[in-house]
Amino acid sequence: MDPQTQPPADIMERLETAEQLKLGGKHCEALTILEDLLVEDPENVAALEEVADNELSLERMDRAEAAAKEAITLDTESYTAHYILGFLESQHEKWTSALVHLKKSNILKPNNPEILRCLGWVLFHAGERAQGIVTLERALNLESDNPLTLCDLGVTYLELKNFGKARSLFQRSLDLDPGNDRARECVQAINRLERTVEEMRK
């Protein structure tokens, strides 16, 4: 970034404080700081991105979407805003529009495991199954201990009826996060499916 375009030190400090609060799960406290910044400067893209991220964590999807859209209006190159809009579209299974945002986000911020995870999931469900799995595998290579990526990849292999590969991914996810209900339910689903297959062969 050009030093002349760097935000003033006090704004950077407040953004950093908000980031630390977010990482600590204190999303409402973070939003208080960010909203004060936006009162002073409604075109602060970094603050809008952080608002969208915190609102997403609080599952206030409409507010997250509004902040992300405003960030993109001000800066079409906001990879965070594109990622958030792509994620939100994927939640509604709007795979085509989700792909547009996630591909843009991935171009702007390559090799980000979270962007790749969402992009892989959307590619798979948009019909580009091989590309989706390759992308999820890349996300996992970059962040091998992410239970969400392990589960997403496991689900894709489960849908392809590769039960062995799916089970090993879900098991790794459970090793990392023993309370992961999604992984446990998927292992149980594999057990049921395998029993059904065995009974059909008898």
How confident is the model over 113-136, as a mean pLDDT?
A: 97
Residue 7 has what pLDDT? 67
Q: What is the mean pLDDT of the chain?
A: 92
Q: Which of 2-11, 29-38, 49-58 has the lowest mean pLDDT?
A: 2-11
**Cα-based torsion angle of the residue sequence 158, 164, 168, 170 in order, rounded to the nearest 10 degrees:** 20
Q: Which of 121-130, 180-189, 191-200 has the lowest mean pLDDT?
A: 191-200
Is residue 199 very low, low, confident or very high in pLDDT (cuts 50, 70, 90)? confident
pTM, two decimals, is: 0.88
Residue 193 has what pLDDT? 83
Q: Which of 160, 156, 114 is nearest to 169 (CA)?
A: 156
* Contact between 41 and 8 (Cβ < 8 Å): no
Residue 3 has what pLDDT? 42
The model's pLDDT over 69-120, given as tens digits with 9 standing for 90+, comes to: 999 999 999 999 999 999 999 999 999 999 999 999 999 999 999 999 999 9
Instruction: Tell me, rounded to whole angstroms, the distance of Cα 136 from its chain centroid.
Output: 12
pLDDT of residue 26 exceeding 90, the answer is yes
How confident is the model over 9-35, as a mean pLDDT?
A: 92
pLDDT of residue 24 exceeding 70, the answer is yes
Residue 5 has what pLDDT? 55
pLDDT of residue 176 exceeding 80, the answer is yes
Q: Which of 186, 111, 110 is nearest to 148 (CA)?
A: 186
Residue holding tokens 């992308």? Answer: 135
Q: Which of 50, 49, 129 is nearest to 81 (CA)?
A: 49
CA dihedral sign, ordered 158, 159, 160, 161: positive
DSSP notation for 100-151: HHHHHHHHHSTT-HHHHHHHHHHHHHTT-HHHHHHHHHHHHHH-TT-HHHHH
